[in-house]
Amino acid sequence: MPKLNKKDILQILNSTRHDIVKYMSQTENKENNLITYSKNIFIPITEICRNDCGYCNFKKDSTNPEAIILKSKTEILESLKKAEEYGCKEAMFAFGEDADEEEIVQLKLKEYGYETMTDYVVDICQMTLDETTLLPHTNGGNYSYEDLKRLKEVNASMGLMLENSSKRLMDLPAHKKSPGKNPELRIETIENAGKLKIPYTTGILIGIGETKEEIADSLLKIREIYDKYGHIQEVIIQNFTPIPGIEMENFPEPNFLDMIRTVIAGCLVFKDTDVSIQVPPNLNKDTAQIFLLCGADDWGGVSPVSPDFVNITSPWPGIDELENLTKDAGFELVERLCVYEKYINDIWLNEKILNKISNLS
C-alpha cells in the first residue's frame, strides 16, 4: 500500500457507510492475529506539574494536602517490589512536567539529596534496574537533549504524547495554560529521542478541540519523525474523557465513529511499518473490541497493581478480562515488554539493560 498523504487521511476521517467498512478491511494484518500488552505498574513520582491542561485529571496543586509532592525512594521501591510479586515487567514512571520549578518540590529534592527532578528520576530508574526485575519506562514531559541522554542510559523505553501538532490548540482550553504542550517543544523532544536512539511511545489525543485536518497533520508528523529516526515503537490513539471537576468537564467525548475513523487512519498511515497502534482499553470499556477490527494491535500498559492515575475514573480491565475480549474478537493476547522486540539489541540499548532483558526471558 503506498504511503498515505493528507488527502487520503482526510478521506478516511470523513468516510461514511461502506467506505468505513472498506477502509477497515484494509487494516487487517494477514501475518498474525496477535494483540500485545505490557504488564506494568504506574508510579506517579510527583503530581505537581507546570502545565494546566483543560482535560487534566492528574495534576494537583502544591497546596492540596493530598498532593504527591515527591514520592521517596523507599515508597517507590516498596511499590516496585509489590509489582514484582504480580509478575509486572514494566515500571512506568509518569509524572508532571518540570515539577522542580515549584519551590516545594525543590525543597523535597534537597531533603532527599538531589538538585533536579532529572537527577532524581535517573537515580530511581537506576534503583529499578539494580534492585528489581522491572524495566523502567519514563514519561515525564519534555526533556532537553542532555537530560534525555542521561535518561536513555537507565530506561528501556520512554514516551511523550504529541497530543496534536497544531499550535492553534494553545489558544483553546485544552492547552492555553500549558506551555509544555507547545507542539514545537514536543516535536523537538520526540526528535531528540530519535537522535539518541531511544525506543519511544507517542500518540495523539482526540476530542480536545482539534479539527480533522489537524488530526491528519499530527499523524503525518509522527510518520515523518518515524521515517527519519525509526524509534517510534507505538502510536497511541487516545480519546478525551470528560470527568466531573476538570475544566473541560462539559466538553463532549469524541464520537465513537470518529474514534473508529481515527484508529483506521492511524493504522493505515503506519500499515507498511511495524509500528503498533494502541488504544487504551480502560477508556473504551464497552467498545474496545471494535478497535481491534480497525487494526489496532496493542492495549498498552495494563496494571494488576496500580490504577491508571491519569484516568483515575477508568479502571483497567483485569488480564483475564482483556484476554477474553481479545479472544472473542478473534485475536490472541500476548504479553510484551515495554521495549519492542526489534529494539532489543546494542544499537538501541546498553549492555546493562540488554543483560537484564535476557535474564527476564
Binding site for ligand SF4 (CB under 6 A): 49, 51-53, 56, 58-59, 96-97, 178, 180
Nearer to ligand SF4, 36 or 164 (CB): 164
Q: Is residue 64 within 8 Å of 325, Cβ to Cβ?
A: no
- Closest separation in Å from C-beta 346 to ligand SF4: 33
Q: Residue 8: how many CB atoms within 10 A of its CB?
A: 17
- Closest separation in Å from C-beta 308 to ligand SF4: 13
| DSSP for residue 153 | T
Residues in the chain, total: 361
Nearer to ligand SF4, 59 or 152 (CB): 59
- Closest separation in Å from C-beta 165 to ligand SF4: 16
- Closest separation in Å from C-beta 310 to ligand SF4: 7
Which residue type does 341 have?
Answer: E
| DSSP for residue 251 | S
Nearer to ligand SF4, 173 or 304 (CB): 173
Nearer to ligand SF4, 49 or 269 (CB): 49
- Closest separation in Å from C-beta 186 to ligand SF4: 10
Nearer to ligand SF4, 171 or 332 (CB): 171
Nearer to ligand SF4, 47 or 214 (CB): 47
Q: Is residue 343 within 8 Å of 139, Cβ to Cβ?
A: no
CA atoms within 13 A on the CB side of 86: 20
Which H or E run contains 171?
Answer: none
- Closest separation in Å from C-beta 51 to ligand SF4: 4
- Closest separation in Å from C-beta 180 to ligand SF4: 6
What's the grid cell of residue 349?
A: 540499548
Nearer to ligand SF4, 304 or 307 (CB): 307
Strand partners, 34: 332
Which H or E run contains 253?
Answer: none
Nearer to ligand SF4, 53 or 322 (CB): 53
Q: Torsion angle of alpha carbons 316, 72, 78, 160, nearest 10°?
A: 30
- Closest separation in Å from C-beta 311 to ligand SF4: 11
Give the list of residues 6+ apart from residue 109 with CB closer than 8 angstroms, or none: 70, 100, 115, 116, 117, 119, 120
Nearer to ligand SF4, 70 or 269 (CB): 70
Cα radius of gyration (the chain):
19
Nearer to ligand SF4, 57 or 132 (CB): 57
- Closest separation in Å from C-beta 160 to ligand SF4: 10
Q: What is the SS3 assignment for 54?
A: coil
What's the grid cell of residue 276?
A: 503498533
- Closest separation in Å from C-beta 94 to ligand SF4: 8
Q: Is residue 247 within 8 Å of 172, Cβ to Cβ?
A: no
98 closest CA partner among 57, 142, 139, 138? 142
CA distance 9 to 17: 16
Strand partners, 239: 206
Give the list of residues 6+ apart from residue 200 with CB closer than 8 angstroms, or none: 157, 158, 159, 160, 190, 193, 194, 231, 232, 233
